[in-house]
């Protein structure tokens, strides 16, 4: 029988529990990311109402980009375009997408059928730009072989990092997700010695132990969440992706705002001290988008903030 992942729900300290459950649930065995842009001049009201009928927040997590909120003449406080500059003299890619659908499951066939339904439901206003197929690799490792997600906040702390509250009805329970497609240069990575690789991440691949003497360019030194002021916790739900011989990480970070993610990326780019994250030696982002993940009202997406 097919293995079904179980959905864990974490209480939000007596406050709200109306977030899309798939955000806090463990990373699934397979995932599919559908990236949509907005058709010129089309108001997305009808398409979003169709989407509400099929989005359960668990097997399908939905994010809405600023082009869609603008077309509805609405503003979601905190939702903004993905920045291209972080003060480091480097430009990172930013793609202005209108809709992001993260399909979660354990069977690729199911995800294909669900994708077709979604594309059809929203086709009046949204145009499918790209599909990224994600999967679980070696029990939760990036394609470089390093465990990913070790320092993610857990339980209530995960909800605290990822879910907005005290923002009012229609916004409480929402989340802000940063998505970047990273493409690995496997040839370059494999040319590095295992010590160079461990130093680039700041952890030992063999046992995931954190290196005490890692260089300041090590990825986990750049991004150590407790080292920021204020502390910069996000909930990472990234998945490896592959297409033919290309592959990498579809980086996905949920936050109660984009601030923590921006603080981390800024430091990775060397904006504070001129030290660039060693990750950039063997991998590069080729996209970058921000989305607002609406809360739930009962079993359905709550789009009151968009006037729906």
Which residues are near ligand HEM by CB under 6 A?
142, 146-151, 180, 182, 201, 203, 219-220, 223-225, 234, 248-249, 251, 253, 261, 264-265, 268, 279, 283
Query: For residue 5, what are the CA distances in angstroms to 8, 28, 30, 276, 303?
Result: 9, 7, 11, 38, 28
Q: How far is the CB of 27 from ligand HEM (least distance, A)?
A: 11
Coil, helix or strand for 236?
Answer: strand
- CB half-sphere exposure, 265, CA atoms < 13 A: 25
Q: Are 86 and 265 in contact (CB under 8 A)?
A: yes
Q: How far is the CB of 233 from ligand HEM (least distance, A)?
A: 8
Which residue, 267, 263, 265, is CA-closest to 275?
267
Q: How far is the CB of 293 from ligand HEM (least distance, A)?
A: 18
Name the residue nearer to ligand HEM (CB basis): 61 or 220: 220
As given in the structure block, the two tokens for residue 275 are 């030290």
Residue 197: phi and psi, rounded to 5, are -65, -50
Q: What DSSP assignment string belongs to 54-67? A: H--SSSEEEEE-HH
Name the residue nearer to ligand HEM (CB basis): 277 or 302: 277
Q: How far is the CB of 148 from ligand HEM (least distance, A)?
A: 5
Q: Other CB atoms closer than 10 Å to residue 269's CB: what's the count?
A: 21
Q: How far is the CB of 176 from ligand HEM (least distance, A)?
A: 13
Name the residue nearer to ligand HEM (CB basis): 43 or 259: 259
Name the residue nearer to ligand HEM (CB basis): 44 or 63: 63
Q: How far is the CB of 18 from ligand HEM (least distance, A)?
A: 26
Name the residue nearer to ligand HEM (CB basis): 78 or 83: 83
What is the distance between the alpha carbons of residues 173 and 298, in angstroms, rounded to a whole number? 12
Name the residue nearer to ligand HEM (CB basis): 235 or 306: 235
Q: How far is the CB of 115 from ligand HEM (least distance, A)?
A: 24
Name the residue nearer to ligand HEM (CB basis): 176 or 251: 251
Q: Other CB atoms closer than 10 Å to residue 91's CB: what's the count?
A: 11
Phi-psi category of residue 159: left, alpha or beta, with phi > 0 → left and psi -120 to 50 → alpha = alpha
As given in the structure block, the two tokens for residue 199 are 């130093």
Longest dimension (CA), the chain: 56
């Amino acid at each position: 029988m097919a293995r079904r992942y179980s959905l864990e729900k974490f209480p939000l300290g007596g406050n709200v529990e109306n977030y899309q459950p798939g955000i806090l649930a463990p990373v699934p065995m397979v995932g599919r990311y559908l990236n949509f842009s907005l058709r010129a001049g089309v108001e997305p009201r009808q398409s979003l109402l169709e989407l509400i009928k099929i989005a359960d927040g668990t097997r399908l997590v939905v994010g809405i980009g600023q082009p869609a909120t603008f077309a509805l003449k609405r503003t979601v406080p905190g939702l903004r375009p993905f920045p291209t500059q972080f003060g480091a003299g480097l430009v990172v890619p930013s793609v202005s997408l209108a809709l992001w659908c993260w399909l979660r499951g354990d069977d690729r066939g199911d995800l294909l059928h669900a994708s077709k339904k979604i594309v059809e439901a929203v086709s009046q206003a949204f145009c499918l730009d790209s599909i990224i197929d994600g999967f679980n690799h070696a029990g939760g490792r990036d394609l470089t072989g390093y465990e990913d997600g070790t320092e993610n906040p857990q339980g209530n702390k995960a909800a605290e990092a990822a879910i907005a509250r005290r923002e009012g009805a229609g916004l409480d329970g929402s989340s802000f997700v940063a998505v970047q497609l990273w493409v690995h240069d496997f040839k370059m990575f494999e040319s590095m010695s295992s010590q160079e690789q461990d130093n680039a991440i700041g952890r030992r691949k063999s046992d995931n132990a954190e290196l005490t003497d890692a260089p300041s360019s090590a990825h986990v030194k750049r991004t150590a969440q407790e080292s920021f002021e204020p502390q910069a916790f996000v909930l990472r739900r990234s998945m490896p992706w592959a297409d033919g011989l290309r592959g990498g990480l579809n980086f996905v970070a949920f936050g109660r705002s984009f601030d923590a993610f921006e603080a981390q990326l800024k430091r990775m780019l060397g904006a504070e001290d001129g030290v660039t994250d060693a990750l950039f030696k063997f991998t590069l982002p080729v996209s970058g988008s921000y989305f607002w993940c609406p809360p739930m009202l009962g079993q359905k997406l709550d789009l009151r903030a968009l006037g729906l």
